[in-house]
Structure 1
Amino acid sequence: IMDNINAKYVSQKISKTRWRPVSHSSLQHPEIFSTGSWDNEDNKISFWSISSNGGSGMDDGFEGDPQLLCEHRHDGDVLDLQFLDQDRVVTASSTGAVTVFRHHQNTQTISISQHWPRAHRYSCDNAPCTGVVCSSPEIVTVGEDGRIIIFRADQEGVIRVIENADSSTIHAVTYLRTTEILTVNSIGQLKLWDLRQQSNSPSQILSLSGDRVPLHCVDRHPNQQHIVATGGQDGMLCVWDVRQGNSPFSLMEAHSAEMWEVHFHPTNPDHLFTCSEDGSLLHWETSTQSDMPSFMQGGRNNSMISRSAMAPAGGNQSLISAWLNGDTSKGRLETTHMLPSQTLSVNSLDVLGQCLVCGTDGEAIFVNRHVPV
């Protein structure tokens, strides 16, 4: 695994990293990704290429080394970053602003095409915008102020604000389907919102019983829209079925510190990836006899715990844990460490095709172009 990694050291802490979408028709490989930085004197949004002809040729790096295409100053920390389409990305800023940047590929420049300053705010101060999700032209953001805001990339005004969506910080948001979103907050709740309703209250609330552990990230299973995965402050990976009950379907001990992001593989969701403050990036793979991934097998009460999920430093041995209840042949979960032993936080990851990219507080970007999926 480690041999396939290209590391690029940059002079900034990377808070977010995302692949540019590829068109399904062309079957092309991902080539361009975007990063955002945080906690630096001047933060930036940058575009990188991993295609061998993408670089200037002056950089004598290895083939596949990320080459910087262009960058643009970003006001505040980049707290989230999502592609709206092939040319535009949307950022969520610690200043409360939401910005749409356009990447001009013919000139390798970046311009601001929309900017909503202080979209998230308190009465006397800015409130960080913590998460953004896009379904072009629609953009949905969440913030520390407990607001959910809906924009359109082609309109200057705000389309809709759900004012008191939450009394605590909303940390992340994802679409469940085109008219429904799901948010996670700092007191361990998932909330479903039906955007067709004018109501300012959620259609459903799920939570970790009694724990109130802050949830930091959420991702929806690409084919089964009722299945979502979350990660939080305690490093646990939770998989939920929003149709069944109000508590998680399975719980896995994934990391020894905050889990910052979780992503199902977009086309092969038997594979899931998590990254953490503990400096690790894990690849979870379910191998099952049935068509249904083991994330979804067994009853709601079956919880699966991987006790030894922290491999010794430098080790990347696979760890196998099966459902505690029921027939272990039904579902197996294998966990692989994807990075050499790290000391600083892995803040963000994205996976597309066989390509994985992640960014760290060690001012490094890691790219793996041969992920075994």
Structure 2
Amino acid sequence: MESVNAKYVSQKISKVRWRPVSLSSLQQPEIFATGSWDNEDNRVTFWSIGNQGHSSLGEGFDEDPQLLCEHKHEGDVLDFQFLDQDRVITASSTGGVTIFRYNQSKQALSVAHQWARAHHYPCENAPCTSVMCSSPEIVTAGEDGRIIVYRADQEGIVRVIDNADSSTIHAITYLKTTEILTVNSIGQLKIWDFRQQSNTPAQILSLSGDRVPLHCVDRHPNQQHIVATGGQDGMLCVWDVRQSNTPFSLMEAHSAEMWEVHFHPTNPDHLFTCSEDGSLLHWETSSPSDMPSFLQGGRNNSMVSRSAMAPAGGNQSLINAWLSGDSSKGRLETTHMLPSQTLAVNSLDVLGQCLVCGTDGEAIFVNRQVPV
């Protein structure tokens, strides 16, 4: 835990995201943003962890994240994503979607554009629950079951799928440039092809049995057909959307709701999850020859595999490990990333060797030496 810093910020943190770094550089991220919820005044805040150029353990890890700038946010920040290095998109409990611009030279945040009440019921606002973007395109989903497409360079709304879902859409992710995937409150995954004008999904996948709400989703960065989801029961599910309408692997991860799941963007044999139970887990796949046959993390080693067969085209052992959930041969290892916590870990993000998470305990934790 030597490389973990805790920063107490006097507000409940709902979302954390690293500011993107240039893909051509080997630098570690230095700036991250947070959004708050359930506070009298909610805020979007930018923080710096400084230039940590130290390679030996214990050097350069005593500095807390430093406040750079902040801006009041109308409603709870339910989600946000960086559009580019200078703009962040937020999703609000008021139903609004806002573009904030970050001026690094002045260390200031300003509102560049806002779509107020983008998500709504006939007579009241509906929370906007999720946002994703691929500049200049922005896509949001909401409690109203609506999917909305915008462009950062246009004031109007590009497209609305009004009745995309009869239940709350909790999270969205891109599968391809023209395809998105949504997860909802009755345990369904829906794939939408934006090349089609139809307002019906191209494919529906679901958890069998109980309709357990799904709260989060992430796509494997290299294998676009592999996605991971987490839900109300704390289970980590891995899906191959080409092969089956049910998950390939289910893994007991947390004892309460899983709020976020993230593959490492450049080392996707590493995956991270966080939960209402106050834990943050690092999942790592490896070949049997690389690690012992036991798992770290006690209660996290109970796993159920729906398929012992490797999927067609999935000939990489690391990919197969996610799909088979083969813990009996030591294919998955879990590690707790935080000191003992009691309040919810609502959000996490990982970039390079840096991980940040935010909690209901009004704390931000930063780890600058994630072993990936």
Q: TM-score, normalised by structure 2?
A: 0.88
Aligned equivalents of 1:259 and 1:144: distance in 2?
18
2:212 match: 213
Q: Which amino acid aligns with 1:133?
A: M
1:109 match: 108
Aligned equivalents of 2:73 and 2:245: distance in 1?
39
Contact kept? 1:320, 1:335, Cα under 8 Å: no
Residues 161-196 of structure 1: per-residue CA shift (max 9 Å, x gap): 000000000000000010000000000000000001
Alignment of 1:111-260 (within 5 A): 111-260=110-259
Q: Which amino acid aligns with 1:43?
A: N
Q: Which amino acid aligns with 2:189?
A: L
User: Aligned-pair distance for 1:65?
Assistant: 1.6
List runs of 5+ in structure 1 lacking aligned partners.
54-60, 292-304, 311-318
Residues 32-79 of structure 1: per-residue CA shift (max 9 Å, x gap): 0000000000000000000159xxxxxxx9644210000000000000
TM-aligned CA distance change 1:290 to 1:223, over 3 Å = farther
User: Aligned-pair distance for 1:100?
Assistant: 0.4
Q: Equivalent residue of 1:309, what SS?
A: helix
User: Aligned-pair distance for 1:210?
Assistant: 2.1
2:89 match: 90
Residues 318-362 of structure 1: per-residue CA shift (max 9 Å, x gap): x59796986867651110000001000000000000000000000
Q: Equivalent residue of 1:27, what SS?
A: coil
- For the pair 1:20 / 2:51, whether they are aligned, the reply is no
Q: Equivalent residue of 2:2, what SS?
A: helix
Q: Which amino acid aligns with 2:299?
A: A
Q: TM-score, normalised by structure 1?
A: 0.88
1:309 match: 299
- For the pair 1:11 / 2:3, whether they are aligned, the reply is no
TM-aligned CA distance change 1:143 to 1:321, over 3 Å = closer
Aligned equivalents of 2:144 and 2:4: distance in 1?
39
TM-aligned CA distance change 1:91 to 1:328, over 3 Å = closer
Residues 231-265 of structure 1: per-residue CA shift (max 9 Å, x gap): 00000000000001100000000000000000000
2:362 match: 363
- Alignment coverage as a number of residue pairs: 344
User: Aligned-pair distance for 1:3?
Assistant: 1.6
Contact kept? 1:96, 1:120, Cα under 8 Å: yes
Q: Equivalent residue of 2:299, what SS?
A: coil
Q: Which amino acid aligns with 1:277?
A: E
User: Aligned-pair distance for 1:27?
Assistant: 1.4
Q: Equivalent residue of 2:24, what SS?
A: helix
Contact kept? 2:37, 2:75, Cα under 8 Å: yes
Aligned equivalents of 1:172 and 1:19: distance in 2?
19
Q: Which amino acid aligns with 1:49?
A: S
Q: Which amino acid aligns with 1:170?
A: I
Q: Which amino acid aligns with 1:126?
A: N
TM-aligned CA distance change 1:116 to 1:162, over 3 Å = same
1:334 match: 333
RMSD: 2.2
List runs of 5+ in structure 2 lacking aligned partners.
53-59, 309-325
